Amino acid sequence: MALSAGSLTFPVFFTAFIVVQAQGGHHSHSHGLGVSSLHTSYVCPEGANATLVCTQSGSKAHLTDVLKHVWFFTPHMDQHCKNILHPRIHGNRTLGVVHKVHDSAFSLTLMEVTKADEGRYCCQSTEVLGRDKNNHTKLLHAHSNMILTVHSRDDSAGQNKNPKCMEFDIRPPAGSSVAAGLASAVCIMGVLCLPLILLLVYRQRQGAQRSRRAHELVRMDR
């Protein structure tokens, strides 16, 4: 059976469909809970007030559910936050910490930071069932993280009476994931189509050889 170029349409279309679905999968939970840090890094002089902000996206699964916002901390910048250590916990008290919740964001403010506050901070939103207050069940949680660096304050020039933090946002370009997806699509289509292309070339060569033999037989008969 001869293989036409049109028969290549199915694997190409099927591969493209898979890639589009994989790309779209990042948005398949657009109504679910999502959290991201407003900035990835904060650099503060000692004595400054550091306000770390996380933004929230999506919506609750049920109107009666409750969202709880929690912050975690680790002094090791190269490690993940552990869900047991909260910022500035001294015994049973939290000192110099202000929590705020807005419509689509929540923040943690550390008053007059010191070198002891330096490390990685993680913000987390947890959705719990709100119908039965005596038996809350966690449904889903989302989290993000950021780095806080604290450096020594220099007041030798009589300046920096109101020290402020600097924010940095180092993220890959927005189009990088799309470009990577397109590159993957091209590679996958190439791999899937290569055997079919080789088979098509083989069939065409066989057809050409049979056609030559038929012409040679006709000439011999004459």
Check residue 14 and give its pLDDT.
34
Residue (of 53, 91, 77, 72) closest to 150 by Cα position: 77
pTM, whole model, 2 decimals? 0.61
Residue (of 78, 198, 59) closest to 140 by Cα position: 59
Check residue 9 and give its pLDDT.
39
User: Cβ(142)–Cβ(125) under 8 Å?
Assistant: yes
Check residue 83 and give its pLDDT.
79
Q: What is the mean pLDDT of each run of 10 residues along the chain (222 residues)?
A: 42 34 33 86 96 91 84 92 86 89 93 96 87 63 92 69 88 49 51 68 78 68 61
User: Cβ(165)–Cβ(103) under 8 Å?
Assistant: no
Please name the helix (run of DSSP H) or strand (run of DSSP E) that holds residue 13, with its range, or none.
helix 9-24
Domain ranges in the chain are 30-172
Check residue 136 and give its pLDDT.
63
Check residue 139 and give its pLDDT.
67
Write down the architecture of domain 30-172 according to CATH.
Sandwich (2.60)
